[in-house]
Chain A
Amino acid sequence: MSSVSTIGQALNGIVPVMCVTLAGIACMLAEAFRRRGERMPIGGLGLVGLAGAGASAVLLWGRRAGCLGVAEADDFGLFVQLVLVGIGVLTIVFSSDAVEREGLPAGEYYALTMFALAGMMLMAVATDLLVIFLALEVFSLALYAMTGLRRRVYASAEGAFKYFILGGFSSAFFLYGVAFAFGLSGSTHLDRLAAHVQAHAPAGGLLLLVAMGLLLAGFAFKVAAVPFHMWTPDAYESAPTVVTGFMSTAVKAAAFAAFIRVFLHALGPLRADWLPVVWVLAICTMILGSVVGVVQVNLKRMLAYSSIAHGGYLLVALASGDEVGRAAILFYLVVYAVTNVGAFAVIALLDSREAPMQTLDDYRGLWHRSPFMSGMLAVFLLSLGGFPPFAGFVAKWYVFTAAVRADQYALAIVGVLTSVVSVFFYLRIIVMMYMTDKAAEAAPAALPRVPKPAAAALWLSVAALLYLGVLPTRVVEIAARAVASVL
């Protein structure tokens, strides 16, 4: 009995991950036992698992439950896990209709979503480089398959394959970095690596620098930092829209969690060495993301570039690195998650084979056809662009404040300028929706009806954006305390 409870205690730290994994397995089994033509609420199984994960994450708060020394559910990891749970819930609620309309295999779709989430949640709490690598592969493999889920669509297969090749390539680099870290410190554990770095700082030694560079390349790929961004527009455009919303937000949350753990915690003493590289990455990412976004005519591709630019703002917060900056990363991740999932959900809910809503022109005069959806999209776009009173403004404000406080004036200035550039393409969509004449339009095909749960989730997202935009202090304080637990 006692040994059973010891094992139980040793696994406490990954209870949320296990809830999601079990839900994924349940989705897979449900699909296997489903008779042809039988309708099953498979998404509901996923929601049950996510509810369990969310509840256990809240219960574990402040306890620092470990797991066999390779994962630790500190407040920081739990915060990111709760963000991921939120992304998962929103994704499932928005998917129900789109999955049917796009003809995605429901069982596979929900099972892969759950497995991807499990990998990401494990990555958020992992304190061992090998476990970080395994978690990264778990969610990456699920995402490659999800990107290519529409097998009959050629672009989907091509986008998924490109994503896979570049993803596998960058994983190899990451793993090579892990190998060097292992060779130097004799362990893949982050604490051992930190001790080794501490002992040898500030002169890192060549091998340590090589390890750091390889790890940095791996992370930069996952957060789609320029010049490791090539896969992003292709994968985001060709994936089913609900999947795009999911992966553009959840991958960033998980990758930045591990990024912070490895670079601010374990490799913190080498900050002088990695800061210039992150600095250049941040500048390039912000500039390319917003400038190339301007010339896009496909809305999903435009939002893909916008999400690259947002990755750049997160890198700015990472580069500034003080308490404000670190709390700003978590706050930014929350806001970005709600906003981007919402924006892609609007596209997913509107788009159908009869009336495609992919290019900018499709959104001409949307206000006349669906005032509700165009209003929702406008709110999400304004928040992405950083207009008050929506949360995007406050998130950006915290990030740039952190940069200025850390004397990174160049980063702050480039950030503000690129924000202004990106406002152009967000506003362009809004102008298209609201300020074009109805009479000039030939009667377009009817838009699909918006299911009630999805509409409720959209309202909830907008309410969250307003709340975070007007009264952000509470969440920022929680984020600051959570980040303090990792360092």
Chain B
Amino acid sequence: MVPLGHYLFLSAVLFAVGTVGVFLRRNVITVLLSIEVMLNAVNLAFIAFGRFQGSVHGQVIMFFVVTVAAAEAAVGLALAIALFRHRESLNPDAFTSLKW
């Protein structure tokens, strides 16, 4: 059986990939995807912890998180469309009217 540490390491790597993706933003949609990757990294951690404790709690929590992630994606895409209508661009560097 794969030990818990491996799962947690993979989860941490995925989380880091998501974090880096948010900061190296080139495209608004990529930023949204990166946040989803972060949430799914957390899901992996929940499931791994739950499995190694011998309970289904981790998997049940995952369903809640997936639901939240879906709701978040809906709001995020709506906002991305609203932005795109104004600037006809998905590059975050175009959105800099607010400063300080």
Q: Which residues of A contact B (CB under 8 A)?
A: 130, 133-134, 137, 141, 144-145, 148, 151, 154-155, 157-162, 164-165, 168-169, 171-172, 175-176, 178-180, 182-183, 186-188, 233-234, 237-238, 292, 295-296, 301
B contact residues, range? 35 or more
In the complex, which residues of chain A have a beta carbon less than 8 angstroms from the beta carbon of B64? Answer: 130, 134
Min distance, Cβ B32 to any Cβ of chain A, angstroms: 8
A168 contacts B42, C-beta separation under 8 Å: no
CB distance from A297 to the nearest CB of B (A): 10
CB distance from A191 to the nearest CB of B (A): 15
Q: How many Å lie between the Cα of A296 and that of B39 in the bound state?
A: 36
Q: In angstroms, how far is the closest chain B Cβ from the Cβ of A226?
A: 14
Whether A172 lies near B57 (C-beta < 8 A) is no
The one of A134, A169, A292 in contact with B68, judged by C-beta atoms closer than 8 angstroms, is A134
**Smallest CB separation, A160 vs chain B (Å):** 5
Chain B 26-67, CB within 8 Å of chain A: the 1/0 string?
A: 001001000100110110011001100101011001001100
Cα distance A333–B39 in the bound complex, in angstroms: 32
- A interface: dominant SS: helix
Is A157 in contact with B98, judged by CB distance below 8 angstroms? Answer: no
Q: In the complex the two chains form, is A182's CB within 8 Å of B31's CB?
A: no
Interface pairs (19), CB distance under 8 Å: A148-B79, A155-B97, A157-B83, A158-B95, A162-B95, A168-B72, A169-B19, A169-B38, A172-B39, A172-B42, A179-B45, A179-B49, A182-B46, A182-B50, A183-B49, A186-B55, A186-B57, A233-B100, A234-B98
Contact A141 B83 (CB under 8 A): no
- Give, as a whole number of angstroms, the nearest-CB distance from B87 to chain A: 8
Given A157-B79, A157-B83, A158-B83 in contact, is the A141-B42 Cβ separation under 8 Å? Answer: no
How distant is the Cα of A145 from the Cα of B81 in the complex, in angstroms?
13
Residues in chain A near residue B42, CB distance under 8 A:
172, 175-176, 178-179
One of B18, B45, B82 near A148 (C-beta < 8 A): B82
* Cα(A172)–Cα(B46), bound, Å: 13
**Least distance between B26 CB and chain A CB atoms (Å):** 14
CB distance from A28 to the nearest CB of B (A): 15
B35 neighbours in A (Cβ, 8 Å): 165, 168-169, 172
Contact assessment for A168 and B76 in the assembled complex, using a CB-CB cutoff below 8 Å: yes
Q: Return the CB mask of B1-41 against A: 1 if under 8 Å, else 0.
A: 00000000000000100110010000010010001001101
Q: List 6 additional contacts besides A175-B65, A179-B45; criterion CB under 8 Å.
A: A157-B79, A164-B75, A175-B42, A176-B42, A179-B46, A187-B57
With both beta carbons as reference points, the residue of chain A lying nearest to B15 in the complex is identified as A176
Closest chain B CB from A229 CB (angstroms):
12
- Judging by beta carbons under 8 Å apart, are B98 and A161 in contact? no
Q: Are B79 and A182 in contact (CB under 8 A)?
A: no
Contact among A133, A145, A155, A180 for B75, CB-based, below 8 A: A145
**Are B75 and A144 in touch, CB under 8 angstroms?**
yes
- Docked-complex contact A161 and B83, CB < 8 angstroms: yes
Q: How far is the CB of A182 from chain B (nearest CB, A)?
A: 6
